[in-house]
Structure 1
Amino acid sequence: MTLSTAEAAAGPSRGPVLGLAAQLALLALLGSTLGLTAGALVAGAAYGLVLCALLGAGLGRAGMTQLGAANSVTLSRAILVGGVTAMVVTSFTHPVSTPMLVVIAGVALALDGVDGQVARRTNTTTALGARFDMEIDAFLILVLSVYAGDRYGWWWVAIGAFRYAFVAAAWAWPWLNAALPPRFSRKVVAAVQGVALALVTAGFLPAFGAVVVLALALGSLTWSFGLDVHWLYRAMRVREAARTRWSAVPSRRPALAH
């Protein structure tokens, strides 16, 4: 599903269009071979349409004239996530092929670090690429957590909803939008979510084991977000204290002579 270099260099307008075409082709293939429901196909197509529209808008705002190799890898992962979405929607009413679901989700998860390596090796690291990669990761985790929630209890959807709840909270408390320092444990916890949900989705574990794995994943995610919120809150208090001290300092400008 990875786009070719020629397609990647075709420009910001053509790249998302090719991505949407690839998404529809994947859905048609899965629909004809796995018997996806009509609602699932509509959900997958809607996902692809929104995805490619947002990507095109992002490329335009960034002034990028090429999609680039790294973003092409991320777009390929995003297309696979569209297939996973359609399969999960189908699973609500009809059985789906668990091996195929695990394979497609597993490839999307395995390619997570590839786009970053490609960007660094080609010296094409961009803010858009980093955001694109993060959003695809977050949505895949959300979809897999919905699949787990349908089988082991809907409160496990909190694993996927955590990030979106954080974004919503930032609308009310803008200090949550401040930049966070790099933290290796944050990357480890993010990887744990994908591994845990992949194991649960594959059905390798008994019900009790699956619940234990999900609990460990959710616990580690809660701890990681808690650390970030605590750091952001302390940083906000430090900034406020600095502004208060600065406003209390009398002006050092000499008074105008009369």
Structure 2
Amino acid sequence: MALNNTYDARLAQQETAVGAGAQLLLLAFLGAAIGLGPAGWLTGLAFGIATWAVLNRALRRSQPLPFGPANRVTLGRAILVGGVTALVADSFESSPPLTLFVGLTAVALILDGVDGKVARRTGTSSALGARFDMEVDAFLILVLSVYVAMALGPWVLLIGTMRYVFVAAARVLPWLNGALPPSMARKTVAALQGVVLLVAAAGVLARPLTFALVLLALALLSWSFGRDIAWLWRTAAGRAGSAGYGAAVPSPVRPAEVSAAGRGRS
């Protein structure tokens, strides 16, 4: 068993190394195709190195298991997100080719619906895979919000940062770490953010309509977060009441695949 675990761990590390190499190749392609500037290169490399380091650390801390086909799909999405991140960083100096930017982003968003199905069909669902999927989603939304904010204003950044603010608040308010029930509305609102931001980035709609669409997406996201926070507050208050006055209330445990901000494996 120990030998199998060591073998699986080595294979997983090899796959993340291949992913890091693929990220470098994508950046090299972007550099050759559009002349990626220093900001794009540095940001893309930083993303690739951080992804490789964090993923390897998570793999070492979890029970050694095969990397699995679903995680390969998510890793492929992460590589695409690294390319989008490099293009957005480069856009502060020169606008990226819209076709390339939209293409990379669209494929990353489409694959978001693939890794979860692959995990279920192959029986390889895991807390690590769900967390990996969710973090890639969240970072792509953050990067897209930065890009769209350059055209519509800094208020768009609320879409990309809301999840990270929630995570930071949960460190101070433990009741925010409570487990949330499954919600199709939460999944739909979360998926809608990427689609709306991509449409806004593509510039296919008139500016007033784009502004209204992104504002609606922000309103729906705020509603989703507010609803989940209210549910967590009521649940924590009910648990405290049932425990009795002055009794210690254990902190609820939040599964890695469920949060107020993301979908986990969709």
Provide TM-score, normalisation by structure 2: 0.88
After superposition, residues 1-258 of structure 1 pair within 5 angstroms as: 11-244=11-244, 247=247
Task: Give CA deviations for 1:43-80 in whole Å, capped at 9, x if unaligned.
Answer: 11100101011111111111224211000000000000
SS in 1 for 2:54: helix
Provide TM-score, normalisation by structure 1: 0.90
**Separation of aligned partners in 2, 1:68 and 1:59:** 12
Structure 2 residue runs of 5 or longer lacking an equivalent are 1-7, 249-266
Amino acid at match of 1:12: A
Amino acid at match of 1:148: V
CA contact (8 A) 2:9 2:59 kept: no
SS in 2 for 1:113: coil
Per the TM alignment, residue 244 of structure 1 is displaced from its structure 2 partner at its CA by: 1.5
**Separation of aligned partners in 1, 2:147 and 2:15:** 30
CA contact (8 A) 1:10 1:66 kept: no
Q: Which residue of 2 aligns with 1:251?
A: none
SS in 1 for 2:125: coil
Runs of 4+ off more than 6 Å: none
**Separation of aligned partners in 1, 2:107 and 2:245:** 53
CA contact (8 A) 1:10 1:67 kept: no
Q: Which residue of 2 aligns with 1:256?
A: none
Distance 1:131 1:195, change over 3 A: same
Per the TM alignment, residue 128 of structure 1 is displaced from its structure 2 partner at its CA by: 0.4
Task: Give CA deviations for 1:188-232 in whole Å, capped at 9, x if unaligned.
Answer: 101110110110011101111110111010000000000000000
Larger radius of gyration: 1
SS in 2 for 1:229: helix
**Separation of aligned partners in 2, 1:235 and 1:247:** 16
CA contact (8 A) 1:141 1:160 kept: yes
Amino acid at match of 1:214: V
Task: Give % identity.
Answer: 49
**Separation of aligned partners in 2, 1:88 and 1:247:** 51
Question: What is the root-mean-square deviation in Å for CA atoms of aligned residues?
Answer: 1.6
**Separation of aligned partners in 1, 2:132 and 2:47:** 14
